[in-house]
Every structure is written in structure tokens, then in C-alpha cells.
Structure 1
Amino acid sequence: MEASVVVDYTAHLDAKHRLTLRGAKYDYYQVKEYENGCIVLEPRELVVPKEISKKALAMMDESIRNYKADKVSEPIDLMGF
């Protein structure tokens, strides 16, 4: 199923080589330009993550298991800093 066209207009670059999007719904877009001349804009929202990723949590759990099993490196001398 193809997406239908919602807005269709011709845009041009201004004197500073910028392109303005009319009625843009987002402040940031990821731009992908292809060899055949097609340009794809994907909206991006810059937000603070609300949670720690599952991968990071798993690494922390493994680190604690290693610490409790006394699988740790030698102390690092930070006196030079």
C-alpha cells in the first residue's frame, strides 16, 4: 500500500543555500540523499532517554556478579591525575 501525497509544492534554495519546509511539524529531520537525486527527510525528536537500555542494565548486572565473585582488576593508581 503506497502512502498518499498530503502536501505538494515546489521549494527553492535561498541566498544562503537553505531550503525551507512549509508547515514543518518537527524542528529536526534526518536527511538522506541518494545517488539518483532522491532526498528523504525523516523527523527526529531530540529527547532525554527515560530509562537505561536493557543492554546497559545487563552489563551492570554482569559487572556486579564479577565483583562479588572477586573477578576484578588490580587497583589503578590515579595519583598522577
Structure 2
Amino acid sequence: MEAIKQYDAKVDGKNRVTLRGAQYEYYNVKEYDNGCYLLEPRELAVPEEISARTLRDMDKAVNNLKAGKVPAPIDLSDF
């Protein structure tokens, strides 16, 4: 694999390194015992996956709907 960008970086007073022209906002960082760091771009949420908590809440909402535990309709005619 060939490097497309190479530059020297310095750790600042708060042990931070600035990535120039970073394409992503979040990275997963892996530190190896040989001193190498691997940064992989990350998204905060995986769009294809629904959490167990959300599925549980959806099941509860459907059960409430089937049992007739629903609020009165909201009047949206003013909008």
C-alpha cells in the first residue's frame, strides 16, 4: 500500500496530534506495542442496525396500540 500523504506531526501540551485535511470527524484508534497507531474512520451510529432497546420500545408501543392505550388524536389543522 502506498502512502498518499506524508508529514511530521508534533504532540501538543495536551497529548493531541492534529490530522491535516482529515476526511472524517471520528476515528477508531489502535495502538500497537511497536509504537504504531492505526486510525480507522468511524461513524457514530451504524445505519443498518437497530439497537435492542429501540426494538423493545417499539414492541411496547405496538402492544399499547393493540391494547387501546393510546392518547387522543392531535389536531394539526392549525399547521
TM-score of the alignment, normalized to the shorter chain, above 0.5: yes
Residue type of the alignment partner of 1:14: D
Gaps of 5+ in 2: 53-79
Q: Given the two structures, how large is their TM-score scaled by the length of structure 1?
A: 0.55
Query: Equivalences for 1:3-18 in 2 at 5 Å?
Result: 3-18=1-16
Letter in 1 for 2:29: V
Structure 1 runs (4+) greater than 3 angstroms displaced = 50-53
Taking structure 2 as the reference length, the TM-score comes to: 0.56
Equivalent position of 2:24 in the other structure: 26
Cα RMSD (Å): 2.1
Aligned residues: 52
> For residues 26-57 of structure 1, what are the alpha-carbon distances to aligned partners after superposition, in whole Å with 9 as ceiling and x for unaligned?
0110000001111100010123534548xx7x
